[in-house]
Chain A
Amino acid sequence: MAPVWTIVALVVLGLLVAWTAWTLSRLRRLEGRVDRARTALETQLRRRAALAAEVAGRYATALEPERAARLTRAAAGARLPWTPDRELAENVLGRELRGLPRDVPGLEPALAADLAGTAQRVALARRFYNDAVRDTRELRGRRFARVLRLHARRPLPRYFDIDDSYGELAGTAGTGGS
């Protein structure tokens, strides 16, 4: 009987090794995707902050001075590292931008279009980032992945939750981790 059990054990071991290897390659690829998505989101957020600062600087008189000062502060605040504070700061900036009057006198159409386009891209980039995070967390949360401690030492990527409500493109609710 011994050889039969040896063969069974070897097959099981073989399957386990194959599955582990396959999962590790998936995790590695997901890690890359999360990194790229984060870079994309960071790029769009910085761009948004830069545009906000430009609007606040160049059109301070057309805006009320108080509003312009708030916008400058918000834009400067949105430069934190990737922490919950960053989400708060981006929310403040988002609120200020949404609160801008519909037509700031003298605002260049190109700049206005840039602002709108960036708001749209922030929403897209955030959705894609959270999507990558969700896929990673889902795979890392599998029982086998937890028991075998695959990628267990690496920090679990965090969702990035801000209110980027922007018209029709934003679809419905953002993350809802599963």
Chain B
Amino acid sequence: MRIGLVCPYRWDRPGGVQYHVRDLAETLRGLGHHVEVLTPAEHEESLPAEHVTFAGRTVPIPYNGSMASVQFGPISAARVRRWLREGHFDVVHVHDPAPPSIGLLVLIIAKGPIVATFHAATVRSKWLAVWGPVVRPWLERISGRIAVSDFARRLQVEHLGGDAVIIPNGVHVRVFAEGPELPGRARGAGGPTVGFLGRYDEPRKGLPVLLEAMRDVVRRHPTARLLIAGRGDPDGLRTAIGPELQPHVELLGELTEADKAAFLRSVDVYCAPNLLGESFGIILIEALAAGAPIVASDLDAFAAVLEDGEVGVLVRRGDARALAAALGELLADPDRRADLSARGREVAWGYDWSVVARQVLAVYETVVVPGSGAVTATDDDADVLAVSADDGPGHPPRRRRVRR
């Protein structure tokens, strides 16, 4: 099958959607399909030499809680059109098509089976409530919609119209399941460790709650240590930690992908104290794959991944005392940790790319009706919309410019 993937975010910036598209493309290629990617980037040179097409630069604006890449205009439209014409795709798969980006441009220009995945990081529904009706006419062209979580699906149903099937984010389970641990910090050796990973100065990640809980935890387990990995302002964090907790906290800074896996394999408990707004919680799947027992706050997305507490401990969000109790108990109970670890590894395989990509393929195969032909591009400017009700083949359709 010839598949065209569209990533609306800059390829050379780290981001969940970019990784998702990259891994999906790789996995589908591994299954013997031809996959091309269209994406903007900051520097054209930073794109891989093959199978990735540069769609131009973007203007970042805040959208839906993160930075969307706005990209519109005749040059981008021409690039999209050329990519569609030269690709001869059986199906085009657009990621996050709602913001005004190349994803939306593809919807406007492409003709044929289109699949779209809605990632939706955080709720800023005010934005969506205004923007949704504007883009709806083009979202109508999507034949099959996918949401990565129940949360993303609800957002989509409420504001963008239409239902979606849920196919979760994928993880390369093997990368996390097998490999070395962080040097000198092997699981079970030395004092028990609690791991935290994320932008620690973002309040919604909930680190202050965890720090408060750790004060209780170290009273019960004097050798316990908290390992903090991720980006942020270390000085501000040291003030927040305070002198008495200082000996129990270690800052690891930003980790590479390989180190992140090693980190998750090393910690005795992984803690996700987030207060709000995770659409999916891919980090929990990665922790499960690495065999780390998890204590997480009871966000919907986390509860879904942890199967309502079957494969991890859920605590009320923002409740430092409950978090301290849960961490303390888990650190004192190696049998329960081993049990959670084993169950977690098993559950994680359900999110492996080999499984997830096949589900995505099933969607492609469903929307590609035999004999309906490949995806093509409409033959006029992007902001020109077909108006006449029945364009017969042969005579050029009447068209009219509609500014949006």
- Known contacts A131-B145, A168-B166, A171-B153; A125/B402 CB under 8 A: no
**11 CB-based A-B contacts, threshold 8 Å:** A21-B400, A25-B385, A36-B113, A36-B367, A40-B366, A40-B367, A117-B362, A128-B145, A132-B143, A134-B161, A135-B140
Residue ranges of B at the interface with A (Cβ–Cβ < 8 Å): 113, 137, 140-141, 143-145, 147, 150, 153, 161-167, 350, 359, 362-363, 365-367, 369-370, 372, 385-390, 400, 402
Partner of B389, one of A25, A121, A125: A25
CB-CB under 8 A from B163, the residues of chain A are 127, 130-131, 134, 171, 174-175
CB-CB under 8 A from A37, the residues of chain B are 143, 367
CB-CB under 8 A from A117, the residues of chain B are 362
Number of residue pairs spanning A and B whose beta carbons lie under 8 angstroms apart: 93
The interface bits of chain A over 119-158 (1 if a CB of B lies within 8 angstroms of the residue's CB, else 0) are 0110111011011101100110000000000000000000
**A88–B228 Cα gap in the complex (Å)?**
57
User: Would you call A98 an interface residue if the criterion is a C-beta within 8 Å of the partner chain's C-beta atoms?
Assistant: no
**A128 pairs with B359, CB closer than 8 A:** no
For residue A168, give the distance in angstroms from its CB to the closest CB of chain B: 7
User: Would you call A61 an interface residue if the criterion is a C-beta within 8 Å of the partner chain's C-beta atoms?
Assistant: no
**A18–B388 Cα gap in the complex (Å)?**
10
Partner of A22, one of B143, B161, B387: B387
Residue ranges of A at the interface with B (Cβ–Cβ < 8 Å): 18, 21-22, 24-26, 28-30, 33, 36-37, 39-40, 43-44, 117, 120-121, 123-125, 127-128, 130-132, 134-135, 138-139, 168-172, 174-175
For residue B404, give the distance in angstroms from its CB to the closest CB of chain A: 11
**A171 pairs with B362, CB closer than 8 A:** no
**A41–B80 Cα gap in the complex (Å)?**
30
CB-CB under 8 A from B389, the residues of chain A are 21, 24-25, 28
- Known contacts A21-B389, A22-B387, A135-B140; A121/B366 CB under 8 A: yes
**A131 pairs with B362, CB closer than 8 A:** no
**A121–B369 Cα gap in the complex (Å)?**
13
CB-CB under 8 A from B150, the residues of chain A are 171-172
**A131–B366 Cα gap in the complex (Å)?**
14
CB-CB under 8 A from A30, the residues of chain B are 140
CB-CB under 8 A from A124, the residues of chain B are 144, 165, 362-363, 366
For residue A31, give the distance in angstroms from its CB to the closest CB of chain B: 11
**B143 pairs with A33, CB closer than 8 A:** yes
**B362 pairs with A121, CB closer than 8 A:** yes
**A30–B142 Cα gap in the complex (Å)?**
10
Q: For B137, B385, B390, which residue has the most chain A Cβ atoms within 10 angstroms?
A: B137
**A21 pairs with B388, CB closer than 8 A:** yes
- Known contacts A125-B366, A128-B144, A172-B150; A25/B388 CB under 8 A: yes
**B369 pairs with A39, CB closer than 8 A:** yes
For residue B129, give the distance in angstroms from its CB to the closest CB of chain A: 16
Partner of A169, one of B165, B387, B400: B165
**A26 pairs with B137, CB closer than 8 A:** yes
**A175–B363 Cα gap in the complex (Å)?**
18
**A121–B141 Cα gap in the complex (Å)?**
20
CB-CB under 8 A from B153, the residues of chain A are 171-172
CB-CB under 8 A from A132, the residues of chain B are 143
For residue B219, give the distance in angstroms from its CB to the closest CB of chain A: 42
CB-CB under 8 A from A43, the residues of chain B are 369-370
**A111–B385 Cα gap in the complex (Å)?**
47
For residue B194, give the distance in angstroms from its CB to the closest CB of chain A: 31
Nearest 3 A/B pairs, CB to CB = A21-B387, A24-B389, A124-B366
Given pairs A28-B389, A30-B140, A36-B367, 9 additional interface contacts (CB within 8 A) = A21-B400, A39-B369, A40-B367, A124-B165, A124-B363, A127-B163, A135-B140, A169-B167, A171-B165
CB-CB under 8 A from A26, the residues of chain B are 137, 140
